[in-house]
Every structure is written in C-alpha cells, then in structure tokens.
C-alpha cells in the first residue's frame, strides 16, 4: 500500500466543501475520515489541520455548525454547507480545474501549443 500523503496546500477547503456538498452535515472527524476514504486512503488529514480549516470556513460564512450527537452518542459539532458555501464550491472547483490544466501543460511539454 502506498504511503499516505498530507493534504496539498490550498486544497483542504475545497475537499471539505465538496465532502459536505455530497454527504450533508458531518462532524469534523467524519469529514476527515471521508476525505481520506475518498482519496483511496492516500491522504492523511490530521486534527491540527481539519479543525482550523473548519473554523476558517465557518468564519467566512461558507459552512455553519450546530451541536448534536454522533453515531456513538457523543456530543459533536456538525458542519453543513451554507448557501454561500454552495457558491464557493463552484468557484473553487472551477479555479482548481483551471490550475490543474495549467500544471498539466508543464507535465506534458510535447503537447503545448
């Protein structure tokens, strides 16, 4: 099995937003595990990374939160996408597609026009 990598700089917010968009409300641990699962367990998301990112997204108004009970009946903060968050997912996804298209040009120099 390949070694796990840390989440790439600048991509965690998009991964969180896309996870909430597809899965609905989740607590921080659930978001981190889902990102790892979606990556095929190639990425590692640690608590020192996920919770500051969630706080920042909440402060920016892209996600909201409320306290609830997790599956194991423990108190947990559940995060959900806001209307602004849905719009941000679209913006960030388009920007990521543009960025990866540019980088791809450098990785396949024979195909540049």
Q: Where are the alpha helices (DSSP H) in the chain?
A: 12-23, 28-38, 47-59, 83-107
User: What is the pLDDT, as a whole number, of residue 8?
Assistant: 72
36-86 pLDDT tens trace: 999 999 998 988 899 999 999 999 999 999 999 988 899 999 999 999 999
Count of the separate structural domains present in the chain: 1
- Look up the CATH number of the domain holding residue 59: 1.10.10.10
Q: Quote the domain boundaries for residue 103.
A: 5-111
The residues facing 94 across adjacent strands are none
d(CA 19, CA 34): 7
- Give the predicted TM-score (pTM) of the model: 0.85
Half-sphere exposure of 9 (CA within 13 A, CB side): 0
For residue 71, give the DSSP letter. Answer: T
18-37 pLDDT tens trace: 999 999 999 999 999 999 99
Residues in the chain: 113
């Amino acid at each position: 099995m390949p070694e796990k990598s840390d989440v790439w700089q600048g991509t965690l917010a998009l991964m969180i937003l896309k996870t909430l968009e597809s899965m609905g409300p989740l607590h921080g641990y659930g978001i981190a595990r889902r990102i790892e699962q979606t990556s095929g367990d190639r990425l590692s998301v640690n608590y020192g990374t996920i919770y500051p990112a969630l706080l920042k997204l909440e402060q920016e108004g892209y996600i909201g939160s409320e306290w609830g009970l997790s599956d194991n009946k423990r108190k947990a903060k559940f995060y959900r996408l806001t209307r602004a968050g849905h719009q941000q997912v679209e913006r960030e996804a388009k920007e990521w597609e543009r960025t990866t298209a540019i980088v791809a040009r450098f990785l396949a120099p024979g195909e540049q026009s």
